[in-house]
Structure 1
Amino acid sequence: MLVADMTIILYAIPVFFLLIGIELLMEKRRNTQYYRVNDAISSLSAGVLSRMVGIFKSLVPFTLYILVYENAALMTLPETLWVWIIAFVLYDFFYYWNHRFGHEVSLFWASHVVHHSSEDYNLTTALRQTSGGFFTFIFYMPMALLGFDPVMLLTVGALNLVYQFWVHTQHIGKLGWLEWILVTPSNHRVHHAQNQIYLDRNYGGVFIIWDRLFGSFQDELEDEKPIYGVRKALHSWNPFWANLQIYSQLIKDSVHTKKWSDKVRVWFGRTGWRPADVSAAYPITPVDLTQFTRFDTELTKATKVYVIVQYVLTAIVGVYLMMNATNMAIVTQLLVASYVIASSVNVAWVMENRSAAMRIEWLKNSLVMLASLLVYMPQWLSATLFVGALLSLCLLVAVKRSQPQVDQSSVSQQDSLHKLT
């Protein structure tokens, strides 16, 4: 049954990248600064990571949904057009509350924060999805009780997710009367902003009417330009750390606070709340939005080309896993997923200019080339990985040459001075 969800996402992927390509052309034509290679690759890698983990994490929640549907459903609904429409609207209603809890309760925010960690706003941001969210299925359990077929749930859920892609752009302004009914680029830009007036607003997935009904709507203001990102900035391109950052903070706060009630409240309290004793001992400096600057790292042109190639290769392997997961042994699935995760993390370290990351890339590409020759896989995949690994090794030479040369005499003088002092 998970095939229904996977199939829709797979068919949507080429469209996603086509639209990203169009947006990049508009970026060049309008000379905007909405894209940076490091941030875009980080977003895209988080998306791949999310789909890898999603293959495994969806099994238990979906099984529970089926159990409730088969044993406790109040009725059996026919698969008519009207039932499908009702399912689509009802799913978005529950998505609204799922999304709202994702911003207003610490445990749920720890998972959802990944999607908001980008300080850019473009179509790649839409693909920066969480690899967590293990508890969000509870919001959709009422649909099982009402008798909505599990395949119907997966299908409308996938369609809801696909719809949300196009609203992550700055190239489309307000859309007139549609602003009153649908989630649009304008009102979703508000949702991604960390300006005080925009904070925790516009939670709808497809329909903005829920926000208007439940008091969480905020219009995009002409005199208040959105500042994207989160108050506790990630300051990393690592998609794995993006998924763990807030969990790490919650664990530390829970351990450090002395009151047992606060140890629980840390997880289930309002997002941003911290125990008084922890705040005093381990203060977090609030972000000054009046002096906000985006996290960035300098990359040479050769490095930019290299990380793009690595993402393409990783995405190919990831899509292959998504398409063939049901035909693979669980050990094979885990090995392929582990490669995708490890590769994504190390490419992030390359973009952070960590010296060890380049040495790991030499090893990784050598092993991929060897695996393409020795491990059984479709010929097209073997050829793609072999050529990709060979190209990557050549690019690594170009990356090394493009790095600024260190003045060794200056280093020696500094070392001598350090020894003297």
Structure 2
Amino acid sequence: MLKNTVSTQKNGDPLLAALAGGIRTREKILQDIAPLFPDRFPTEPGAVNNITTIDRHFKMPQVWKSSLAVDYQLPLPFPSLLTLEGTFIKDIHAIMQEDVNTIHADDPRMTRFIGPDNRYHYPGDTEKRYHEDITNAILMRNSGKGYSANFNITLNAHPWKDVEFMAAYTYSKSKTITSNKSNQVDNAWTQEPSVMGPNYQKLHTAQYLQTPHRVIAQFSYTRQYARLFSTSLSLFYTGEYAGNYSYLYDGDMNNDGIEYDLIYIPRTKEELHFADRQTGEITFTAEEQKEAFWTFINQDPYLKKHKGEYAEAYAANLPWYDRFNLRVVQDFKIQTGQHVNTIQFSVDIMNLGNLLHNSWGVTQTISACNNGKLLELKEVNETGEPVYTMCPIKKDGQDILPNKTFETNRSSENCWQLQIGIRYIFN
């Protein structure tokens, strides 16, 4: 398959006039519009510089799934059921991508950095290609290295009349070669964080594994009285990590033209080299940045546990948060002829904890550390070692070096919300 992207940024472009009107399918565009602009829609061999192809032995995605579940009635004086369930999924034919127009690691044009971070250093975005006129030649093929596992334990109980209780804990783990974040093959290849380059992906945490641990619970109390009235109160709880993220360099670290390079986490403060950085009227010296970066590592829950290693894609988690939702429902039964209908009033308070205290029930983000992009490659010194600068952030209008990982996510989703409802239910 040859891929060609047509774009325009000029006012009065005749292509815009031709595209005006209703929505067209790609077939109609190729049939009606493309012949009018042969220079914008080239079809001759060699005219398209982005190639996507499929391995001749490619197979549709296939997995092996094994699951086991057990229900156990607990020996308690009230109804109680304990459920244990485990699932394991192994990739047999998963999808991955490779740019076959990128030179291999053993090509003489490839070099390595010197020092603890000795990743490959590419000769350049264009120079890394076997055929310089072809941007990418993406081969879609299979991989069998990924897997995922899930374990769940759930308790359902009725300890008293009109009272129901449920609690569950879920542990999840998922490893993959690529999370396939895009529906475009070339974008899925470029957007997967890596150390040595997207052609050299290793098994890593899947991007869609937002939280490895999750706890949910529900308490419900329902009381019927005077034959025509019913009141129910339900409290829901969810506790989980707010998401995952990766620590990347700001910019293209290894000179391959792709800005998704995972950082190296130094074992000691002296392992990395820094250069002075001028930001506006402020100069951050090399020593200041070295000290600030080492202090940042020691306060970060992921980085301080992985000193001397490359950061793993999507292996760092946002902080845990707890959220409660409250629902109160009042039913009024109404006799209408031979039928009994119901008027129901409901009150829902979402994120009840935030109503009680403004710091409860809120998630956090990594905007305090430039969204995980802490370092930028400044240069390579005479011995072949990378030299960095630390990326500053704005705080109260001032440029500072990051000193913490997380800060409160200032979003309406973190605010408590009140919802009042009325419903008429026909018998």
TM-score calculated relative to the size of structure 2: 0.21
> Which has the larger share of helix?
1
Greater strand proportion: 2
Larger Cα-atom Rg:
2
